[in-house]
C-alpha cells in the first residue's frame, strides 16, 4: 500500500456520499507497499479502506479482482469485501483515478515472523486456493515468466546501478528458470503477493488476507514458492528450514501436494525470487519523487535467488 494520489476533503465527502456508509470522521494515508494509493477511512458506520488504483493496475482487471474478493468472502475466507455504492457499483471515479471502498479487517501483520505464523499462513493459503476453485473467470498472470525477460530489459540500467554485474547474472539465471519452468501442475486462482504485511493475525490466528491486486490464475505451487521467499528467510538472508517445513505442513493439512508439485518447488522458488527482484529493480528507477512510499532493495531478492539456485529438490524446503 502507498499514497501517490492526494484526495481533498471536498472530493472525499462527495465520493462517500454515494455510499450507504455514513459520514466521514477520519481519513489518513497508508504508507506501506508500492502499488496503489490507500487510505484508512473511518465513518459514522465503521472503518473501511479506500483504494485509488494507480497506473500499473489495468482498469480492465479491476472487476476480476473485486469479483474474486467477493467470491472468496462468500466462501468464508476472511478478506476485504468490496462495498457497493447506492447504485450498485463497486468501482467509481475519484481524484482522476478509479477507486473502491472495502471493509476493514481487524488484526496486525507480524513484524517478526515466527514458526507458528508460517504454519498458519500455509493453512490460510491452502484455504484461499480451495475457496477460489468455484470462481469461473480466469486472469492471466501479467507478471508471470513470459513477462520477466521484458522486465529485465527495462531494468538493466537499474541492475548495474544497484550492483555491478547484476544484469548478466540475472540474464543467465532467468534463462535457466524459463527453460526449467514446470508444466502440467495444478492451476487455479492464486494471491501472488502474500507477504507478511498482507496477512493479519489476531490472538495467534490468521484474521485476514488483503491486497489481491496481483491475484491471477496460475500454478498453485508458485503461490507457495512466493510465500517461501517472503516468510522463510531471516534478516541475514539465511533460509529457515523450520519455518519452511511449518509453512508446507500447514498448507498440506488443508490441500495435499503431488510429487510433481513438490519436485517443482526449487525452480518455482527461483522464479518467485526473480519476479520480485525485477519489479523492485523497475521501481528503483520509476518510483515518483515525493511518493509516500519507500523503495525496496532489489538485492534482498538477489540473495534469495542465489539460495534457490543452489537447491536440488523439494526436501530442502521440508517437503
Tens of pLDDT along the chain (319 residues) come to 456 788 999 999 999 999 999 999 999 998 765 578 899 999 999 999 999 998 778 899 999 999 999 999 999 999 999 999 999 999 999 999 999 999 999 999 999 999 999 999 999 999 999 999 999 999 999 999 999 999 999 988 888 888 999 999 999 999 999 999 999 999 999 999 999 999 999 999 999 999 999 999 999 999 999 999 999 999 999 999 999 999 999 999 999 999 999 999 999 999 999 999 999 998 887 766 665 556 788 999 999 999 999 998 999 999 8
Segment 222-240, tens digit of pLDDT: 999 999 999 999 999 999 9
- Mapped onto helix, strand or coil, the DSSP state of residue 122 is helix
Give yes or no for a contact between 229 and 193, defined as CB atoms under 8 angstroms apart.
no
On whether the CB atoms of residues 269 and 275 are closer than 8 A, the answer is no
CA angle, corner 159, sides to 153 and 165, nearest 5?
105
The reported pLDDT for the residue numbered 161 is: 85
Give the number of other CB atoms < 10 A from CB of residue 8. Answer: 9
Using an 8 Å Cβ cutoff, are 218 and 144 in contact?
A: yes
Backbone angles phi, psi at 239, to 5 degrees: -85, 135
Q: How far apart, in whole angstroms, are the C-alpha atoms of residue 67 and residue 69?
A: 5
How much is the pLDDT for 21? 98
CATH, domain range 115-317: 3.90.1200.10
Bridge partner residues of 217 (DSSP)? 140, 189
Query: Nine-digit cell at 244?
Result: 519452511
pLDDT at 1: 43
Domain map of the chain by residue range?
A: 9-103, 115-317
Residue 234 and residue 113: Cα distance in Å, rounded? Answer: 9
Class of the domain covering 9-103: alpha beta
Amino acid at each position: 500500500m502507498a499514497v501517490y494520489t492526494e484526495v481533498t476533503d471536498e472530493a472525499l465527502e462527495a465520493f462517500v456520499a454515494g455510499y450507504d456508509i455514513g459520514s466521514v470522521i477520519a481519513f489518513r494515508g497508508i504508507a506501506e507497499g508500492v502499488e496503489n494509493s490507500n487510505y484508512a477511512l473511518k465513518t459514522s458506520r465503521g472503518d473501511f479502506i479506500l483504494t485509488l488504483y494507480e497506473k500499473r493496475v489495468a482498469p480492465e482487471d479491476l472487476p476480476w479482482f473485486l469479483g474474486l474478493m467477493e467470491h472468496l468472502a462468500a466462501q468464508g475466507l476472511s478478506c476485504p469485501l468490496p462495498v457497493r455504492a447506492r447504485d450498485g457499483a463497486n468501482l467509481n471515479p475519484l481524484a482522476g483515478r478509479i477507486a473502491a471502498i472495502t471493509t476493514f479487517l481487524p488484526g496486525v501483520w507480524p513484524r517478526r515472523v515466527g514458526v507458528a505464523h508460517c504454519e498458519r499462513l500455509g493453512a490460510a493459503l491452502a484455504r484461499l486456493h480451495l475457496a477460489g476453485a468455484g470462481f469461473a473467470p480466469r486472469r492471466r498472470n501479467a507478471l508471470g515468466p513470459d513477462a520477466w525477460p521484458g522486465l529485465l530489459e527495462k531494468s538493466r540500467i537499474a541492475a548495474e546501478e544497484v550492483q555491478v554485474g547484476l544484469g548478466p547474472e540475472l540474464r543467465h539465471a532467468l534463462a535457466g528458470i524459463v527453460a526449467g519452468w514446470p508444466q502440467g501442475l495444478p492451476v487455479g486462482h492464486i494471491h501472488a503477493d502474500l507477504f507478511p504485511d498482507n496477512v493479519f493475525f489476531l490472538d495467534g490466528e490468521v484474521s485476514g488476507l488483503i491486497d489481491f491486486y496481483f491475484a491471477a490464475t496460475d500454478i498453485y505451487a508458485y503461490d507457495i514458492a512466493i510465500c517461501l521467499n517472503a516468510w522463510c528467510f531471516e534478516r541475514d538472508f539465511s533460509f529457515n528450514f523450520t519455518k519452511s517445513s511449518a509453512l508446507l505442513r500447514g498448507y498440506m493439512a488443508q490441500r495435499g501436494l503431488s510429487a510433481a508439485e513438490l519436485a517443482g518447488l526449487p525452480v518455482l522458488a527461483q522464479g518467485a525470487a526473480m519476479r520480485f527482484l525485477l519489479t523492485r529493480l523497475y521501481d528503483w528507477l520509476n518510483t515518483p519523487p515525493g511518493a509516500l512510499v519507500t523503495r525496496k532493495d532489489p538485492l534482498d531478492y538477489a540473495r534469495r535467488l542465489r539460495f534457490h539456485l543452489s537447491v536440488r529438490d523439494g526436501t530442502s524446503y521440508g517437503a
